[in-house]
């Protein structure tokens, strides 16, 4: 039997009512609170980033394919031909290989990697700004035209009243330049913000005015089919969904002309790889592709700032745990001075005695990790189940603080905390080498 393990275990399981017992409890509590805060913080930040990104990508797709002279604005309109070799065959693309630059020990190298998924879906869209007129109210709006290929799986989750657009007749669209009026749906899907400001509901009709280049106006009457609320105030305030052929007629486009294509991926983490793949290997030279992250960088830059908050929180919590554990270890060493002197007199080396206290400290840390994981995961479960923490949707795009617990992240926090704290505890354990056996044995 390893003598250092045996002594450390006996000391840890000692039932003596000493002052160090209180210190140990405080140390366990400090580690537990630190780990619990780290777990909750990482889960909240991960959930927050994941939900926001999912909403933005769900509304706009991951990659836009448009006319090459289009600016970074989402509403600049230039028609392109819908009849492309990649549409809709691009959805057959599965995981792809790509090259990633990396660095190790100051040396840069390139390695080949594989994406987690492929291309899930592609859909056409068209945009047209206008003004809503209802009673005495006027509201600016951007109509987003969608077709029968539109994926409603995202937006259905956020429809509060009514239903998605009925585009069943769109399949009868003519292949000639003209678009038969009788086949076009006059339904519209508006946001909760628009509905509340104009005091309209499902089934109500209103007129949208469109200003043409020569100053003339076009009017179209729409019927509200549904009301949605994603929580993305910038989008909810501005956009409404209609039949894409309404936009084509208003713009004077042919039936095969659209503003662009939205490409949806299986995994968000593959965005950069597929952004380059679509641009270089899929689309022809007369088209241009760009990820929605590049089109709306301000939101993603804001999300990236959350990484700084996460690092600060983790750093503060691990510092608190280290300071408390170092204090506890110093007290334990001073309290066991007599035992240390005896062990030295019996021939134990300084390192063997230091290992006894490091094992003892490891026991305290593990106890703290156990309770910290229990508390942290319990808080995450309660928040996920009962949604106790509410947010201002206007400021955070979410009404509830989301949590996303990742097993590997929790495991990394536990392993990292244990290793880092033990490394720092080597410093106070050096005090053992300064203890004289003769004086320690006489110490009371």
Q: How confident is the chain (444 residues) per 10-residue block, as mean pLDDT? A: 72 62 88 95 92 87 86 67 92 89 71 90 93 79 93 92 81 47 82 90 91 77 94 87 92 90 92 92 91 83 84 92 91 84 84 87 93 96 92 83 94 94 90 76 59
Domain boundary among 264, 286, 308: 286
Beta strands in 137-249 (DSSP E): 137-146, 159-162, 187-191, 205-211, 217-228, 239-243
Residue 59 located in a structural domain: no
- Six token digits for residue 199: 């005091």
Model pLDDT, residue 117: 93
Residue 295 located in a structural domain: no
CA distance 358 to 344: 17
- Cα three-residue angle 4-8-10, rounded to 5 degrees: 120
CA distance 317 to 30: 9
Model pLDDT, residue 171: 42
**CB of 140 within 8 A of CB of 238?**
yes
Burial string for 139-164 (b: 16+ CB within 10 Å, else e) reads bebebbbbbebbbeeebeebbeebeb
> Is 306 found in the same domain as 223?
no
Strand, helix or coil for residue 159:
strand
**pLDDT tens-digit series, residues 125-134:** 999 999 987 7
Domain extent, residue 127, equals 68-286
> Is 156 found in the same domain as 273?
yes
Domain boundary among 286, 315, 350: 286
Residue 58 located in a structural domain: no
- Cα three-residue angle 61-65-71, rounded to 5 degrees: 100
Residue 394 located in a structural domain: yes
Model pLDDT, residue 119: 94
The distance from CA 53 to its chain's CA centroid, rounded to whole angstroms, is: 6
Model pLDDT, residue 174: 43
> Is 351 found in the same domain as 221?
no
> Is 356 found in the same domain as 232?
no
Compute how many other C-beta atoms are within 10 angstroms of the C-beta atom of residue 109: 9
Residue 293 located in a structural domain: no
Residue 275 located in a structural domain: yes
> Is 192 found in the same domain as 48?
no
Residue of 137, 117, 60 whose CA lies nearest to 299: 60
Model pLDDT, residue 392: 83
- Cα three-residue angle 47-421-322, rounded to 5 degrees: 85
Q: What do you get for the CA distance between the two ends of the chain, in Å?
A: 30
> Is 248 found in the same domain as 210?
yes
> Is 256 found in the same domain as 346?
no
Model pLDDT, residue 173: 45
Residue 196 located in a structural domain: yes
Residue 61 located in a structural domain: no
> Is 10 found in the same domain as 83?
no
> Is 248 found in the same domain as 308?
no
pTM, two decimals, is 0.82
> Is 423 found in the same domain as 333?
yes
> Is 264 found in the same domain as 355?
no
> Is 380 found in the same domain as 434?
yes
Domain boundary among 286, 317, 349: 286
Query: How many domains is the chain partitioned into structurally?
Result: 2
Query: What letter does residue 78 receive in the DSSP assignment?
Result: -
């Amino acid at each position: 039997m390893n003598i250092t393990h045996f002594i450390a275990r006996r000391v840890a399981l000692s039932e003596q009512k000493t002052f160090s017992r209180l210190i140990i409890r405080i140390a366990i509590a400090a580690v537990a609170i630190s780990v619990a805060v780290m777990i909750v913080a990482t889960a909240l930040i991960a959930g927050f980033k994941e939900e926001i990104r999912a909403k933005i990508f769900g509304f706009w797709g991951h990659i836009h394919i448009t006319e090459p002279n289009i600016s970074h604005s989402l509403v600049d309109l230039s028609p392109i031909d819908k009849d492309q070799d990649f549409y809709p065959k691009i959805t057959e693309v599965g995981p792809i290989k790509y090259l990633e630059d990396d660095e190790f020990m100051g040396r840069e190298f390139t390695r080949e990697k594989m994406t987690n998924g492929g291309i899930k879906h592609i859909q056409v869209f068209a945009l047209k700004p206008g003004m809503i007129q209802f009673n005495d109210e006027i509201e600016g709006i951007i109509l987003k035209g969608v077709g029968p290929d539109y994926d409603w799986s995202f937006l259905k989750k956020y429809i509060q009243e009514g239903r998605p657009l009925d585009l069943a007749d769109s399949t009868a669209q003519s292949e000639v330049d003209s678009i038969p009026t009788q086949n076009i749906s006059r339904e519209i899907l508006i946001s909760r913000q628009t509905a509340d400001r104009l005091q309209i509901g499902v089934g109500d009709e209103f007129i949208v005015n469109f200003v043409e280049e020569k100053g003339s106006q076009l009017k179209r009457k729409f019927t509200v089919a549904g009301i949605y609320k994603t929580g993305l105030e910038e989008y909810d305030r501005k956009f409404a969904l209609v039949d894409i052929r309404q936009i084509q007629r208003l713009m004077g486009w042919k039936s095969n002309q659209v503003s662009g294509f939205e490409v949806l991926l299986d995994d968000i983490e593959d965005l950069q790889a597929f952004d380059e793949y679509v641009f270089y290997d899929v689309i022809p030279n007369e088209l241009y592709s760009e990820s929605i992250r590049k089109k709306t960088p301000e939101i993603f830059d804001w999300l990236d700032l959350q990484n700084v908050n996460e690092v600060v929180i983790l750093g503060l919590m691990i510092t608190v745990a280290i300071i408390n554990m170092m204090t506890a270890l110093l007290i334990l060493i001073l309290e066991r001075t007599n035992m240390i002197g005896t062990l030295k007199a019996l021939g134990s080396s300084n390192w063997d005695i230091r290992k006894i206290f490091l094992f003892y400290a490891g026991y305290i840390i593990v106890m703290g990790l156990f309770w910290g994981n229990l508390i942290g995961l319990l808080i995450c479960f309660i928040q996920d189940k009962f949604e106790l923490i509410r947010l201002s949707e206007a400021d955070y795009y979410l009404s509830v603080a989301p949590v996303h617990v990742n097993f590997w992240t929790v495991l990394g926090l536990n392993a990292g905390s244990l290793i880092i704290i033990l490394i720092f505890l080597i410093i106070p354990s050096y005090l053992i080498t300064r203890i004289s056996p003769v004086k320690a044995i006489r110490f009371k």
